[in-house]
Amino acid sequence: MIRERFHFTVKGGNGWNDALELIREIDEIQIAAGRATGTVWTQVVGPFNEMVIETDFADLATYERESEALMSDPAVLKLFPRFEEVTVEGKGYNELLMTAERMGG
């Protein structure tokens, strides 16, 4: 299994609610296209205004296929400028994890 973690920080004010609404809109597009959706997390204790979206994929090929489809979907691309408006530039990063039992063999 492959797990992607997308970390970002939202701006103050209504940024939190705006980010959640935007994620909901992207999820609707993903569901309609038959692609995976993520779960939104935040720290109980830790930095303020950070969100993490975790999405699981069966394997690396599925991750690559769905990521490419997401990043080329015109409906999603229309939403990206709004995402930039509600997040703090330079604070985000991405992780890609693989289940340990698949490593080395």
CATH number at residue 63: 3.30.70.100
Strand, helix or coil at 94? strand
Q: According to the model, what pLDDT value does residue 103 have?
A: 54
Q: What is the pLDDT of residues 21-68, one digit of tens each?
A: 999 999 999 999 999 999 999 989 988 899 999 999 999 999 999 999
Note the pLDDT of residue 76: 95
Mean pLDDT along residues 56-85: 95
- Residue 42 domain boundaries: 2-102
Give CA–CA dist 97/52, Å, rounded.
14
Does position 104 have pLDDT exceeding 80, yes or no?
no
**Number of structural domains the chain divides into:** 1
Q: What is the mean pLDDT of residues 83-87?
A: 91
